[in-house]
Amino acid sequence: MKIGIPKGLLYCKYHPFLTTFFTKLGCDVVISEDTNKNILDAGVKYCVDEACMPVKIFHGHVASIKDRCDILVIPRIMQLWKNEYICPKFCGLPEMVINSIDNLPPTISEPIYATSQKKLYNWAKAAGKYLGKSNNKVRLAFHSALNAQRDYEEGIFDKGYEVNVALIGHPYNIYDSFSNMNLVKKLNKLGVGIVTGEFTHEDTLRDVAKKLYKKPFWTFTRENYGFAINVAKEKIVDGIIYVSSFNCGPDSIIIELIKNSLPHFPFLILKIDEHTGEAGIDTRIEAFADMLERRTRIESNFSTHG
């Protein structure tokens, strides 16, 4: 039996768990190729116009893989932490896809609550039952998948650079090199090191977020805010680059929170969608890198405008 897993959205973060789980159940896992123009074009064709680019890209991945698998996995990720949620489009992702793309194979779309191992196991049992697997086999596959996820080292923490930036955003905007136009490689080529949020402890992220007037409703909003404030206050980086999808509601909130909390800290916002031109992105990151290099070189940091 061939299980299809689209290489979009949070696949970049949780692929060790998903691929190991279905492989240990005795399935052949078929993964879509890396995001490319054909996948983006297909996503734009099938998805509603109002959706953000990552959701459109996910539709494109589904379209590219649907004829190569017997069963399709569409992760309906509801919660990663208690009393927090991801994004409304994640909650309704299977319905969006099923009603947009014709001739899909049967789908596994059980809600995923990853707030505890017990709740996550409920998803595993439902998926295993759908595939006709025994409880014992599901249990063994589940624990193998957990171990694979724990052993997976994600994130970027460059060393040896004089200038460093915090690269912030939803994981699928940071780690999909097609979406962000090879941003990581371009920054490194400009002599800029990168730090991502995975290397900041969860307790630190929560402590920073507690200082807000109200606790953020969205998980990535809380994490991105906590990471930005912490690396700036601890002087771990020289600037912040936030990669945001056009039309992303949670991002519009978090960006303003960061700007208000760090009014004098170098902060570059890169908005991306299917119409974004690479030349414009290149010009902005080159100018930002030049500015950061001057700031680190000139101790006085006086403004040229007086």
Tokens of 123: 């998803």
Q: State which amino acid sits at residue 214.
A: K
- Mean pLDDT along residues 4-25: 94
Taking the domain 163-297, which CATH number applies? 3.40.50.11900
Distance in angstroms (rounded) separating the CA atoms of residues 27 and 283 = 46
- DSSP one-letter string for 133-181: --HHHHHHHHHHHHHHHHH-----B--S-SEEEEEES-HHHHH-TTTTT
Is residue 129 a contact partner of residue 94, using CB atoms and an 8 Å limit?
Answer: no
User: How is the chain split into domains, by residue range?
Assistant: 2-151, 163-297
pLDDT digits (tens, 9 = 90+) for 192-210: 999 999 888 889 998 988 8
In this structure, the number of other CB atoms found within 10 A of the CB of residue 211 comes to 10
Fold of 2-151: Rossmann fold (3.40.50)
Distance in angstroms (rounded) separating the CA atoms of residues 140 and 124 = 11
- pLDDT category of residue 286 using cuts at 50, 70 and 90: very high
Query: How would you class 239 by CB atoms within 10 Å of its CB: exposed for 0-12, middle for 13-18, buried for 19 or more?
Result: buried
- Mean pLDDT along residues 15-27: 95
Q: Is the pLDDT of residue 125 over 60?
A: yes
pLDDT digits (tens, 9 = 90+) for 211-269: 888 888 889 999 999 999 999 999 999 999 999 998 888 888 899 999 999 999 999 99
- pLDDT category of residue 302 using cuts at 50, 70 and 90: low
In sequence order, the β-bridge partners of residue 77 are: 112
What's the confidence (pLDDT) of residue 306? 47
**Is-same-fold flag (2-151; 163-297)?**
yes
What's the confidence (pLDDT) of residue 211? 86
pLDDT digits (tens, 9 = 90+) for 63-116: 999 999 999 999 999 989 988 888 888 889 999 999 999 999 999 999 999 999
- Mean pLDDT along residues 149-153: 89
What's the confidence (pLDDT) of residue 59? 97
